[in-house]
Amino acid sequence: MSLASVRRPAFLTALPLLLLSALLPAHAQNAPQLDVPYVPTPDHVVARMLEMANVNSDDTVIDLGSGDGRIAIAAVRDRGARSALGIDLDPERIREAEANAEAAGVSDKVSFEQGDLFKKDISEATVLTMYLLPRVNLRLRPVILDTLKPGTRVVSHAFSMDEWQADRSDYIGGSYVYLWIVPAKVDGRWEVNDGNGNFTLDLQQQFQQVEGTAQAGGLQNAVTGSLEGEVLRFNVGGKLYMGKVEGDRITALSGEGAVSNWSARRT
């Protein structure tokens, strides 16, 4: 008899699945599908992440995929952060993290929320920490760039964000740590006044790298520059310009031999 001719009744085929479902506890049947498996960040890496981000008493830290809560807890306990929020999809991890925060004596400043990190508001973070996966980092990248304020520090354990090169990185105890500083948006045309006259600045931005052209009186010069949060540095004709970007305006910053008393407005 061929195997193809053997047919089992539908209820017999479904019976093992029904029995398995009945044997599982209710919370296991309803467990969320996790994007990232839970692997805790070693404590020495946690310390280095927070050190690289220069977490201090002015900071609101948000940790994505917070697991047992160790990064959020350390941000407040060890670095004195104003507050910390951990977000995790797994309710079991949330319960564990809350218990750990209570035991560490920081539950007044550290909280945890269960849910999809892509649906949470992270705009208040001044420091964002994460230990996710490369594909999740890449999904987060546009959210980070469009949601977080310029100057926000982003720290990732183990995984980068592809073309967005880290501003700094380190290798500690077998682990990579990456730091980015969210850049201001400077794409577009700017009118610059440097005290000696006006010139037009056309900028194209690729993350924290900037290039373009400066035009004045029919002459054109190439422009190269970079951003570190709100601070823009660029060179025109051998002169360094350094300024603070505030929306559609740039005001001069002194130091590093930069041109003083200049300003720019996006048109």
Distances (CA, A) of 127 to 34, 91, 103, 148: 24, 24, 24, 9
| Superfamily for domain range 43-182 | Vaccinia Virus protein VP39 (3.40.50.150)
The arithmetic mean of pLDDT across residues 212-220, rounded, is: 94
Determine what percent of the chain is predicted with pLDDT higher than 90: 83
User: Is the pLDDT confidence value at 17 over 90?
Assistant: no
Question: 2 versus 65: which is more confidently predicted?
Answer: 65
Question: Using CA atoms, how far apart are residues 86 and 2, in angstroms rounded to an integer?
Answer: 57
User: Is the pLDDT confidence value at 20 over 60?
Assistant: no
pLDDT tens, residue by residue, 41-58: 999 999 999 999 999 999
Per-residue pLDDT band at 177 (split at 50, 70, 90): very high
Angle between helices 70-77 and 91-104 (to 10 degrees): 20
* Average pLDDT of the residues of the chain: 90
Residue tagged 């003083």 (tokens) = 260
User: Is the pLDDT confidence value at 193 over 70?
Assistant: yes
Dihedral sign for Cα atoms in the order 162, 166, 171, 174: negative
Ranges of each domain in the chain: 43-182, 188-266
